[in-house]
Structure 1
């Protein structure tokens, strides 16, 4: 199976590649359109800012290619946030627009420290292939300042004074706000589940 990790210029590309290798799969870090289209699975990682990633995607003419990919796509953290049509980050940035009625917004809290860094629970009610062998209220590792609000595509939520989407799906596009590659065994299980969808 060919797994493409989109080269967005962010810092956690290698950690995702290593996490996939531990599961027994091969992956390739690339921004080559032909390889992205031919890959069995595509992972869009995210560490950095929405504007920086969107600039790279625009420069490489990848936005329409990503929007039209038919195989399963997993966006991680910022990679999920850019599925929305707009992000409040960096004074506002137009993003990919897969979730064309959702915007990424700043996480605000009057009681808890920001950004949201560390382990937190995800809560889901429905049985879904992404959650195979994962218990309800499992903990994953988060590092973020922006969120995708709960919406009709939300599969799981997390509470950090307010409730936000921690897992989403629209058609073949899946997103997780946490970092499965940094979330130990439960994160490895979620990655495995995605690769087996």
Structure 2
């Protein structure tokens, strides 16, 4: 099974991601070291909280350039998916990693649906991808978010929360999951397993 590096930069639920990967047999390295990031076999960027704080932490630790230049499989989780995009409305405007075109906006699902979106939603798979191999149409995933990524060419799967929520995205060697795969039962475990098996 693969080695995988998880960024531990003070803005992510690192422990639960680590344990989920270890249950799949992966060897997990937690790091905030730019050299270790650049040399990683594959990389996971977790994230919870506010985009500006997360980007500030990445900048302070010298991680922005190594992430942007990373040539092997990279997976952003929850806020980590949002950080892959160009910028965000959060905090009055926040520049992000700019690895996928588009602006992250506030979730506005309409009457009767609270923000943040917190709980289980079904996945509608838009197109096939190695990250989604074996994930059934209508599988449940666990979401916690108040902002959402733009729905565009990078979208692989969506949820419905009063409108489309891009749930899985990809651009080249970079993938993102808006939900928490480490908390998403069988579908989430399968997605993490698939990520570990994508050729580095």
- Partner in structure 2 of residue 129 of structure 1: 130
| Cα deviation, residue 122, structure 1 | 1.2
Secondary structure of the 1:141 match is strand
Q: Which secondary structure does the structure 1 equivalent of 2:191 belong to? A: helix
Counterpart of 1:108 in structure 2 is 108
Distance 1:150 1:39 in 2: 30
User: How many equivalent pairs are there?
Assistant: 196
TM-score (normalizing by structure 2): 0.95
Residue of structure 2 equivalent to 1:10: 11
For residues 96 and 169 of structure 2, the distance between their equivalents in structure 1, rounded to whole angstroms, comes to: 16
The equivalent residue for 1:178 is: 179
Deviation, structure 1 residue 63: 1.0
Partner of 2:67: 66
**Which secondary structure state, in structure 2, belongs to the residue aligned with residue 17 of structure 1?**
helix
Match in the other structure for 2:157? 156
Q: Partners in 1 of 2:135 and 2:146 — Cα distance?
A: 26
TM-score w.r.t. length of structure 1: 0.96
Confirm or deny: 8 A CA contact 1:20 1:191 kept in the other structure: yes
Q: How many angstroms apart in 2 are the aligned matches of 1:55 and 1:158?
A: 29
- What does residue 20 of structure 1 align with? 21
- Give the 3 Å change call, closer, same or farther, for CA 139–13 of structure 1 in structure 2: same
Using the alignment, how far apart are the partners of 1:28 and 1:74 within structure 2? 15
Map Cα deviations across residues 119-154 of structure 1 (whole Å, 9 max, x no partner). 001111322211111101211000000000211111
Q: In the TM superposition, what whole-angstrom CA distance separates every residue of 1:163-188 from its partner, at most 9, and x where no partner exists?
A: 12110000000001000001112111
- 1:90 corresponding residue in structure 2: 91
Q: Which runs of 4+ in 1 moved over 6 A?
A: none
Match of 2:39 in 1: 38
Residue 193 of structure 2 is aligned to residue 192 of structure 1: yes
Q: Alpha carbon RMSD of aligned pairs, Å?
A: 1.0
Whole-angstrom CA distance in 2 between matches of 1:35 and 1:124: 34
What is the rounded CA distance, in whole Å, between the counterparts of 1:11 and 1:150 in structure 2?
A: 24
Which range is displaced more, 54-63 or 175-184? 54-63
User: CA–CA distance in 2 between the matches of 1:7 and 1:40?
Assistant: 16
CA distance in 2 between counterparts of 1:125 and 1:42 reads: 25
Larger relative contact order, structure 1 or 2 (CA cutoff 8 Å, min sep 6): 2
CA drift at 1:109: 2.3
Residue 143 of structure 1: SS of its match in structure 2?
Answer: strand
